[in-house]
Amino acid sequence: MDQQTNLSPGSTAVSSFGARAMGVLTSPGDLFSEVASAPVQTSSWLLPYLITLLVAAVVTYSLSSTPSLRQQILEPRQQQMQKQLDEGKMTQQQFDQAVAMMESPVMFFVISFGISAIIVTVALFGIPLALWLTAKLALKSPASYQKMLEVYGLTSLVGALSAVITLLLWHVFDSVHASLGGSLLVMNNFDKENLGHELLASVTVFGLWETALLGQGMAKVSGKSASTGMGIAFGLLAVWVIVSSLLGWVR
């Protein structure tokens, strides 16, 4: 799976994927120093991608089999359809058919997992592209796109861990707005039309952690200071939070 496993004398030793995965949590500085100097390892992004898809499948199945959480996910869409029905843009028959399909656990799983898989795939290749272009333009980085792909792939393991813990919180609080972040403050009265609530929900502990790791990794493969890389990463995060909140993409 890795692109190179036999290293010549004097080359940087390449850790196993398991060691790299642990290094993200325990010693990211050492990990990204290795990523910067070692041959590109396909496993550093492919295995996290597969792990993330697996976690997405587990989360989606759990939601589909828990009526209260599933209904919270569906409620905003049903409200939109009710508005269309009231305005004559949808017939009662179309409304009933759409609601029946949405409330089917099987259809919920198929559609939700399909959307999740698309988002995960676009993020896997799109975010490293944005980081690579930013590093090229802002840092004059010599790092390749494949290096940024490795950095993002490894840091995405934190996102997978976040999804598991968030799912547990959803079940504990019986709310899809329960997460380790600002949304806990408005969990019981979350309003999707409230920009302040959207902004709070955009900021999570794991999101900040993953952003810091991305910045550190980008800096290492670009030969820059960690503070420079993290400054750029958090700047990009701020732009994303504002845009996604304004467009209502948070929930």
> Is pLDDT larger for residue 186 or for residue 62?
62
Asked if residue 142 belongs to a domain, the reply is: yes
Confidence band, pLDDT 50/70/90 cuts, at residue 181:
confident
Q: Taking a C-beta distance cutoff of 8 angstroms, is the pair 178, 169 a contact? A: yes
What is the structure's pLDDT at 225? 92
**Per the domain annotation, does 42 fall within a domain?**
yes
Max alpha carbon distance in the chain (Å)? 74
* Residue 220 forms part of a structural domain: yes
- Whether 6 is in a domain gets the answer no
> Taking the model in full, what pTM does it have?
0.86
Mean pLDDT of 20-30: 95
| Structural domains of the chain, count | 1
Whether residue 196 is contained in a domain is answered as yes
Q: What is the pLDDT of residues 95-106, one digit of tens each?
A: 888 888 888 999
Residue 39 domain boundaries: 17-246
**Model confidence over 193-205: pLDDT tens digits?**
776 777 777 788 9
- Do the domain assignments include residue 251? no
The whole-number pLDDT of residue 208 equals: 93
The verdict on residue 239 lying in a domain is: yes
User: What is the pLDDT confidence band of residue 85, given thresholds at 50, 70 and 90?
Assistant: confident
Would 8 be classed as within a structural domain? no
